[in-house]
Amino acid sequence: MLTLLSMFYYICLRRRSRSGTRGEALTSRRAVESGQRAVLPVSVEVEQYAKEVLDFSSHYGSENSMSYTMWNLAGVPNVYPSSGDFTQTAVFRAYGTWWEQCASAPPPFRRTPKGFHSQDYIELGFEEPVYPTAVEVLETYYPGAIVQILACSHNPFSQTPPTDVRWEVLWSGEPTKVLTPQARQFSPNIKHISFPTNLLRLEVNSSLLDYYTELDAVILRGVKERPMLALYKMPVIDINDLSDSEEDLSEVGGLFRSGGDGKHHRTGNGYFDKLPYELIQLILSHLTLPDLCRLAQSCKLLHQHCCDPLQYTQLSLQPYWARLSDASLGHLQGRCTLLQRLNLSWTGNRGALTLSSFSSFMKVCGLSLVCLELSCCHFLNEACLEVISQSCPGLQELNLSSCDRLHPQAFTHISKLNRLRRLVLYRTKIEQTAILSILTFCIELRHLNLGSCVRIEDYDTVASMLAARCRSLVSLDLWRCRNLTDRGLNELVSGCRMLEELDLGWCPTLQSNTGCFQHLARGLPRLRKFFLTANRTVCDSDIEELAANCPSLQHLDILGTRLVSAASLKKLLQACPKLLLLDVSFCSQIDMRVVVELSGLYPNVSIKKSFTH
């Protein structure tokens, strides 16, 4: 086998190679022929579970408990090999395509690479840095969401500030739908990397799953000494260079012509000179951002087209979070003077972006900005939000989801953005004073997400302010707000009658016996999405009022109630022909027999009933 390989490389290397000199090629060939081989160190494989959860984009659980939170991924398994819906596992906030179908969902960004599938992530720190040999993820319910596993060169437990942070993809794949929701151990073949790591990042996409995926533990296997697998440094050989003669140089058609004197003369840009400017712009609009930047280096004409600000009215840098730096942001700055929609989610962490570069970019490119996505941007501070409020006077959409390291005082600057229509503050530290100030001045709000904002002391006051100031509100997410009562909910319903989406999941202070849910059903005829997750008091009367007054209902979650019967669900299904999702998990009166029966009668409705083994 070695002889055959030597013959093949000998044939390849005797031809022209773009990547190395002839001397380098001969040296490489002699290395093969002489059988030179690096000494392989003997090292014992280390197995370790995650020591700490460092960062994540979302979770189903509360900030003040362990149930369904990402923190459950630290340490040894709690559940595996059991299958089912367990509170001791890590669960992300969403699944399927239900959230994308809602009015509150923003439109996708153009130019998002087809290979970028990630919707959520979690970063895990391990005790010892190792060269990874395997990564194993213990999935206990609806597996198949993991689409990428990455390793980082930075030691998260080091006291030294990070410099030259590198991320390498160990494995990537497309979203999958596993045929069974049963537990499994996911251990893909991973790529070998050149540095030791004790920081892994899992990225997930749950869009194909029928229910929430649940993860129990992550195992990192590796060796402490670097495996020396390469025989020698082999220059890259382009298959197109394997011509019969080293002197045979093919002519680049169209760009050069031979003159009578035997010399080559440039004739311009070929057919591109004949195409209308707008047509070339349309063609280039289908390229991804890296391709656009590469094409700009090919010739002056295409450089002009690729740098046209009209190519950068929408810019999503989220897919390139691992590579984005001050330098790359500065490189794009001159091209983005007409920028309208910008997605910087997940970028800038661990020193990749600084306040000065972000501020400079926003001051140059913020004037026309209407949408700014900054989910999980931990480099943000109060000065950044102040710059946004000063540089983006026309901003209509702002997403600060999971920016949980922002100081509460920073949010007061948002009140200066009085044209806001969509504001996402999920898992932030915003406090009562700041949210009331925002609602006072941002009266055009249509979509507001305050899910898991645990520092807001009085949600009744917030609901009252919404009813008074934001009467055109279309969607409101109050997931896991701990102190909303029937008084605040009744005021909200009376003032915001345009509501189409309302998430009251895990709001324990709301009680059905006050009549608040029936009042809600009568007051919100446009309701399309309604989550009453884990409210034990929801009863048949509430469901029947929804059936009588909310014909446009599409998504309903009543997980965990003990008082709803099959009879009221049948009335709901009959009266709401647009219903697509109905979650009756842990509803004690609705067993699997009822679910099967209703699914047969209403096949267009996805009826969810989770289980525990």
Which comes out higher in pLDDT, residue 497 or 24? 497
Mean pLDDT, the chain, rounded, equals 88
At residue 219, does pLDDT exceed 90? yes
Give CA–CA dist 552/542, Å, rounded: 16
* Reported confidence tier of residue 260, pLDDT bands at 50, 70, 90: very low
- 549-599 pLDDT, tens digit per residue, is 999 999 999 999 999 999 999 999 999 999 999 999 999 999 999 999 999
Would you state the pLDDT for residue 15?
A: 40
Confidence of residue 613 (pLDDT cuts 50, 70, 90): low
Q: How many CB atoms lie within 10 A of CB 165?
A: 15
Report the half-sphere exposure of 608 (CA within 13 A, side-chain side): 25
Q: Is pLDDT at 379 greater than 90 in this prediction? A: yes
**Residue 459 above 90 pLDDT?**
yes
CA-based nearest residue to 421, from 382, 470, 367, 353: 470
Average pLDDT over residues 264-269: 53
Whole-angstrom Cα distance, residue 183 to residue 313? Answer: 44
The residues, any chain, with a CB within 8 Å of residue 354's CB and separated by 6 or more, are 326, 379
Report pTM: 0.87
Weakest-pLDDT range from 264-278, 280-294, 340-354, 512-526: 264-278
Which amino acid makes up residue 203?
E
Helix axes of 355-365 and 326-333: crossing angle, nearest 10 degrees: 10
Say what the pLDDT of residue 9 is: 40
Mean pLDDT, residues 111-134 taken together: 96
Residue with tokens 């390498």: 168
Residue 230 has pLDDT above 50, yes or no: no
Residue 8, pLDDT above cutoff 80: no
3-state secondary structure 9-51: HHHHHCCCCCCCCHHHHHHHHHHHHCCCCCCCCCCCCEEEECC
pLDDT at 256: 31
- The least confident of 9-23, 285-299, 345-359, 487-501 is 9-23
Q: Give tens-digit pLDDT for 404-435.
A: 999 999 999 999 999 999 999 999 999 999 99
> pLDDT-based confidence at 229, cuts 50/70/90?
low
How does strand 197-204 pair with strand 120-141? antiparallel
Q: Report pLDDT for 16.
A: 38
In this predicted model, which residue has the larger pLDDT, 272 or 451? Answer: 451
Q: Which residue(s) pair with 56 in the sheet?
A: 122
Distance CA 406, CA 404 (A): 6
pLDDT at 369 over 80: yes
Q: Which two tokens stand for residue 102?
A: 């809602």
Structure tokens at 6: 């030597």
More confident residue, 355 or 237: 355
Distance separating alpha carbons of residues 585 and 571, to the nearest angstrom: 19
552 vs 421: CA distance, rounded Å:
23
- State how far the Cα of 37 lies from the Cα of 77, in Å rounded to an integer: 41
Mean per-residue pLDDT for 72-79? 97
According to DSSP, the β-strands at 52-56 and 120-141 are: antiparallel
Is the CA virtual torsion 229, 231, 232, 233 positive or negative? negative
- Provide the sign of the torsion angle of the four alpha carbons 183, 188, 192, 195, taken in this order: negative
Three-state helix/strand/coil letters over 312-359: HCEEECHHHCCCCCHHHHHHHHCCCCCCCEEECCCCCHHHCCCHHHHH
* Mean pLDDT, residues 201-208: 97
CA atoms within 13 A on the CB side of 237: 21
User: From CA 55, how far away is CA 122, in angstroms rounded?
Assistant: 6
pLDDT at 464 over 90: yes
Q: Which residues contact 255 (CB under 8 A, 6 or more apart)?
A: 266, 267, 270
Q: Which residue has the tokens 């009668």?
A: 601
Classified as helix, coil or strand, 376 is coil
505 closest CA partner among 484, 520, 491: 484
Which has the higher per-residue pLDDT, 134 or 257? 134
Look at residues 596, 537, 610 and name the one whose alpha carbon lies nearest to residue 566.
Answer: 596
> pLDDT class for 516, splitting at 50, 70, 90?
very high
Which pLDDT score, from 0 to 100, does residue 241 have? Answer: 35
Structure confidence at residue 275 as a pLDDT band (50, 70, 90): confident
Cα distances from 84 to residues 70, 186, 329, 340, in angstroms, run 17, 16, 45, 44
Query: Rounded to whole angstroms, what are the CA distances from 115 to 348, 373, 551?
Result: 21, 20, 39
Give kind and range of the element (H or E) at residue 120: strand 120-141
Q: For the segment 296-354, what is each residue's pLDDT rounded down to a tens digit?
A: 998 888 999 999 999 999 999 999 999 999 999 999 999 999 999 999 999 999 999 99
Question: pLDDT band for position 226 (50/70/90)?
Answer: confident
pLDDT in tens, 35-44: 444 444 557 8
